Structure 1
Amino acid sequence: MDGAVNHEYRTIDVPVDGGALRAGVWDPEDAGPDAPTVLLVHGVTASHLAWPFVVERLPGVRVVAPDLRGRGRSNGIDGAAGMAAHAADLTALLDALGIHSTVVVGHSMGGFVSVVFAHLSPERVSRLLLVDGGLPLDVPAGLSTDELVAGILGPTAARLSMRFADAGEYLDFWRQHPAFTGAWTPELERYLAYDLVDDGAGAFRPATSYATTADDTVDMNTGDALPAALAGLQHPTRLITVPRGLQDEPPGLYAPEHLARLLSEYPAVEHERVDGFNHYTIVMSPSGADVVAAALREELAARV
């Protein structure tokens, strides 16, 4: 389901620093140019095809979702990544589509990107919806890059160095993933198959490189962009967290004690803890998308 019910799906390529940014656009059927628009920003090793479940639940809403640089069909962009670089790419994407301001939704690393984007280009953002990401993670100081990536992402990062004979072998690899037990769908298969690219040696690899993932993971956890953005947070911001992580393990990315400290530090952030989901299924499952789409419709209704 690249497209979604009540939407027409297309892709565009937008010139950015170092190459071209691919994005998916879902135009609502029978909707004019004044249809509300939302910008959806995916996670650290994902792509724009993480979002069709949510799109399907947004009739009448135009949805724009990029493959962030280094991911999906944007993986040929040269140059460093990092939150500020992604934010600049989002500005170029909105410019290309003639969108002045929009509600922005960020999942996982996309939440960090969205917070920085709102700080660097405040006039382009009306409201922020962060889904299990965007506020600092609880990671020890002094870790090496590899330790930081492994500690946060675990097998999600390890697979980036793996090679696969074909899409079938890649899907078999993911079928064993604990996060998707009971949540396997055709939409998920299409999302995963899109991730594969030719490695040039007769096999296939995930589109996202380990180096890109490492650069972004370090920046969003130890760089200056996120602290500055959070210190200057000025947009209405809503955070949804879930109790299980990337391996379907408790307590998830935001343990209750750490989360309480964050919410005390950033009291303007409206928080909702949603039981029954892990870091993936809150976006990439029908019931998780129900939660996110309902929250997003509320954010659209609350726009000034």
Structure 2
Amino acid sequence: MTRTPRNGMTAARQDTVVPAHEELDVPVPGGKLAVSRWPADDPGAPVVLALHGITANGLSWARVAHHLAGRVTLVAPDLRGRGRSGRLPGPYGIAAHADDMAAVVDALGVGRVVLTGHSMGAFTAALTAVRHPHLLTALLLVDGGVGFPVPAGPDPDELITSVIGPAMRRLSMTFPDREAYRAFWQGHPAFAGSWSPWVDAYIQRDLVGEEPELRSSCSLEAVRTDGVDQLGEEVSGAVRRLPRPAVLLWAERGLMDEPQGLYDDQRLATADLDPGLVRTRLVPGTNHYTIIVGDEGAWVVARHLLAAAGVAGTEGPRATRSR
């Protein structure tokens, strides 16, 4: 495993700075997985392993790291086929990611971790908990991890595109320079009023290639494979087979900041979750992205992670209500 220090980014508010992070290369089958790590002030502090969404990368967790403020260590891999792990070959699929996470925990030698994931990362976290129950002390799912029956008929690619929209289409696009890619994302309705240096660093990490043909690092094969795999019973049903209780935080609004989010009271009721196994909480005022990259959403996620890690002296999460 190799280690490269990275400088912190200037935050949206001038009186704060995103904590500096390290870049690690962790051996996994087929090569090395890129991992971002925000160390705790205390080397013996608990460790959080955070998994990103289907076309994202580990820096999507940077704002959460800011609110964790060095009280725990946050480890956020670029999953196989994304970010700086974009060249890692298959096999892809949620089970492959789960096994990669076991390799990361073993390579870092951190013992058991608090496991969390956003969107597809939440499905991956749930399956990791099922396949490797010895790895975790607690589980937090963020706007993902709970699946619903798939309607008959649609082609899987069409179904995936209907859910993640522009995030899927951009994988076949090229951009003349980094500013063009920034403009593409700044035009996304989910980020209106929520742009920050954290978001900029996260989206810029996605770019590979040379001007004037920059493109997303995400492997289209990986996204297709993982997206279809996520719809299957083994993955979508993992939340009903968890080895320990979990919390699901869900965003009020959707991927395009539309009023209908991925979850709502009715959808969660039809999911027939065991309330003793999965507690669900709404995070008002957030959409699918800003629940981790927006300031308020990241604050709530960080407070839940600190509580899950058993960090003393942290107040309970605000702006949530039990369901």
- Pick the TM interval, shorter chain: over 0.9
**Partners of 2:177 and 2:212 within 8 A in 1:** no
**Residue of structure 2 aligned with 1:56, choices 29, 47, 66:** 66
User: Runs of 5+ in structure 2 lacking a partner?
Assistant: 1-5, 10-16, 313-323
1:260 matched to which residue of 2?
269
Give the Cα separation in 1 of the matches to 2:8 and 2:27.
Answer: 23
1:41 matched to which residue of 2?
51
Deviation at 1:271, TM superposition (A): 0.7
The 1:189–1:2 alpha-carbon spacing in structure 2 relative to 1, beyond 3 Å, is farther
Give the Cα separation in 1 of the matches to 2:259 and 2:220.
Answer: 26
Secondary structure of residue in 2 paired with 1:103: strand
TM (norm. structure 2) is 0.87
1:12 is the counterpart of 2:24 = yes
The 1:87–1:2 alpha-carbon spacing in structure 2 relative to 1, beyond 3 Å, is farther
Secondary structure of residue in 1 paired with 2:248: strand
**Partners of 1:72 and 1:208 within 8 A in 2:** yes
1:156 is the counterpart of 2:156 = no
Secondary structure of residue in 1 paired with 2:293: coil
Structural RMSD (CA)? 1.9
The 1:240–1:2 alpha-carbon spacing in structure 2 relative to 1, beyond 3 Å, is farther
1:1-304 map, 5 Å? 3=8, 5=17, 7-29=19-41, 31-32=42-43, 34-58=44-68, 59-137=70-148, 139-198=150-209, 202-222=212-232, 224-227=234-237, 229-262=238-271, 264-267=272-275, 268-301=277-310
Deviations 1:279-304 (A, max 9, x none): 0001001111111111111111289x
Secondary structure of residue in 1 paired with 2:162: helix
124-133 vs 53-62, which moves further: 53-62
User: Runs of 5+ in structure 1 lacking a partner?
Assistant: none
TM (norm. structure 1) is 0.93
Give the Cα separation in 2 of the matches to 1:113 and 1:241.
Answer: 16
Secondary structure of residue in 1 paired with 2:171: helix
Deviation at 1:17, TM superposition (A): 1.3
Secondary structure of residue in 2 paired with 1:152: helix
**Partners of 2:18 and 2:65 within 8 A in 1:** no
Deviation at 1:50, TM superposition (A): 0.4
Determine what percentage of the aligned residue pairs are the same residue: 42
140-149 vs 68-77, which moves further: 140-149
Q: Which amino acid aligns with 2:35?
A: A
> How many residue pairs align between the two structures?
298
